[in-house]
Amino acid sequence: MAKGVLERKDIPQEDTWDLESMFSDTEAWENECKRVEKLAEEFPKHLGSFTKDANSLLKALEDRDNIYRAISNIYSYAHMKLDVDTTNSQSQSLNDKATSLYVKVEEKTSFLVPELLKLREEDIERFLEDNETLKLYDQHLKNIMRQKDHVLSAREESILAQMGEVGGSPEKIYSMLNDADLKFPTIKDEKGKDVEITQGNFIPLMESKNRRVRKDAFKSLYKVYKSFENTFAATLNGDLKNNIFNSRIRNYNSTREASLNQNNIPLSVYDNLIKSVHENLDSMYKYMNIRKRALELDELHMYDLYTPIVDEVDFNIPYKEGVELIKRALSPLGEEYLEGMNEGFNSRWIDIYENRGKRSGAYSGGSYDSKPFILLNYHDTLDNVFTVAHEMGHSMHSYFTRKNQPFIYGNYSIFVAEVASTANEALLLDYMIKNVKDKNEKLYLINHYLESFRTTVFRQTMFAEFEMIINEYLEKGGALTAEYLCKTYKELNKLYYGPDVIIDEEIAIEWARIPHFYYNFYVFQYATGFSAAISLSQQILENREKAVEKYLGFLKSGSSDYPINVLKIAGVDMTTVEPVNNAMKLFSKLVDELDKLI
């Protein structure tokens, strides 16, 4: 690729994704919008009649699915077209129109679930017996009826919906304060130049080889947070109280139960994660001791945790070389997987390179009927190769799900969403560690792997435990003061990082800069997903009986069953401690290997 950022028109077609396979041109897209709008306008005709018999129910569900299948094509096309050139006014207009149409579709179909919940379970069973085709919706209907005890009357649901915006105020206030209003001081960088600390450059500053830079950034940032600690405590308190109100009014025993019930996740999954990580903290303590020795420090502080302990290794990997590396690394997944992946690399699933106006970062997207598209901004770095492997994991999950499931089950739960992507990264890392010749490169890769464990399993589990503690405290009538939050958070850092790390006073306020505490028991899924992926990749590498077959079965399952059951198909039971313990065993083994090499 030529140096400098290219204009969109200068990117070769073969390096862009094939949106024409969705709609030949804007006129075709506009015509589909008109068709869907008409279908949405007509949909309320089902109100009052669709719960009378099996045939009427089937027709309503099929009509709804046809509308959502079409609007997802419309919306995916529009937002992907905008993402490759956010400066294009026509694309902005398409995206706005698609969003408005999506809102209209949701509004016109919103009566369906409340009306369904007026039925008794025996009514649903009778309908399923009366119409063979309706049985396709068995799991879908069961999932709706499962939550019947937690759904209120139509009037009460309407009041709660109208209160939603008010209930979301604490998070909005937090976001405005954290992202817009907070101003951080200026420090001197490695070269003695002034640099203003921002949310975006804080971690790069913490990765600095210069310890004075790290310390200054750390102390300066958290000094600002400390000066607003009571405001941050109030916003978090307000957000959690809103969740408590909603959980109680919906007849749940706790906010945690209410949150996990959305995907039918047992509380034991959450508890087992924390239990397993606690039982394996010795390996984290050993890793921290190695970090202290490698950095040749008398004291290891919290601001020393992000700086690399291995000198930067220059992996220069052009895109095509990266693709070949990924293919070799993922060969244990077998012929069927590799054929699908080759189709992705050769059939313009991927928008590869950066261009002016293109959205930053990377993602896997598309709709049920489209290719499972991938957006990249590829540069020739090792991190970018891992990004390709990661996003291809998501896209292959989508590819197999859409090929094997009807539209109603053609997606997958957030609980399992990161499994396939992380498994790909694990297989790539394993392959590179086993095949690298240079000692420093091997050290770098092992440390990269260990840091993934530290930040995704240990740190996210610590967040999950903090979230559980403060919710339970509030539910029992406690007051979430800044003092209580800081004390609780600091104690958890002591527990998770161990005796070789000085737990600086400033870290006590770190909870104030973590937006995930407003996501209502979301973060534990990072740790469970990572653990499941590690467990599965190890089974595949060890050639366990039918491991690949089971894994492909998982990728093909979509949401045809609850996420816990779908993972069991793959060979991982997240209701037990085994998957997290297996991941912890690999972490311990890598720590020992690093110890020998360092």
Looking at the predicted structure, is the pLDDT value of residue 397 above 90? yes
**pLDDT tens digits for range 202-241:** 999 999 999 999 999 999 999 999 999 999 999 999 999 9
Q: 8-151 in CATH: which number? A: 1.20.140.70
What residues are annotated to the active site? 391
Per-domain residue ranges of the chain: 8-151, 252-313+421-598
**pLDDT tens digits for range 423-442:** 999 999 999 999 999 999 99
Contact 541, 427 (CB under 8 A): yes
Going by C-beta distance under 8 Å and a sequence separation of 6 or more, which residues neighbour residue 56?
46, 49, 50
Q: Mean pLDDT over residues 320-325, rounded?
A: 98
Q: Does domain 252-313+421-598 have CATH number 3.40.50.2300?
A: no
Task: Phi first, then psi: give them for residue 363, nearest 5 degrees.
Answer: -160, 165
Considering only CA atoms, which of 112, 43, 111 is closest in space to residue 71?
43
Looking at the predicted structure, is the pLDDT value of residue 357 above 50? yes
β partners of residue 195: 187
Dist. CA 465–CA 120, nearest whole Å: 38
Q: How many other β-carbons are positioned within 10 Å of the β-carbon of residue 445?
A: 22
Dist. CA 507–CA 501, nearest whole Å: 12
Task: Phi first, then psi: give them for residue 88, nearest 5 degrees.
Answer: -75, 115
Q: Categorize the per-residue pLDDT at 3 as very low, low, confident or very high, splitting at 50, 70 and 90.
A: low
Tell me the C-alpha to C-alpha distance, in Å, between residue 548 and each of 432, 538, 545, 586: 20, 11, 8, 20
Task: Phi first, then psi: give them for residue 147, nearest 5 degrees.
Answer: -100, 15
Report pTM.
0.90
**pLDDT tens digits for range 523-552:** 999 999 999 999 999 999 998 889 999 999
**pLDDT tens digits for range 113-152:** 989 999 999 999 999 999 999 999 999 999 999 999 998 8
Going by C-beta distance under 8 Å and a sequence separation of 6 or more, which residues neighbour residue 215?
301, 303
Is 350 strand, coil or helix? strand
Q: Categorize the per-residue pLDDT at 2 as very low, low, confident or very high, splitting at 50, 70 and 90.
A: very low
- Work out the percent of the chain whose per-residue pLDDT is above 90: 91
pLDDT of amino acid 398: 98
Q: How many other β-carbons are positioned within 10 Å of the β-carbon of residue 164?
A: 10
Instruction: Give the ranges where 318-418 is alpha helix by DSSP (H).
Output: 319-329, 335-346, 382-404
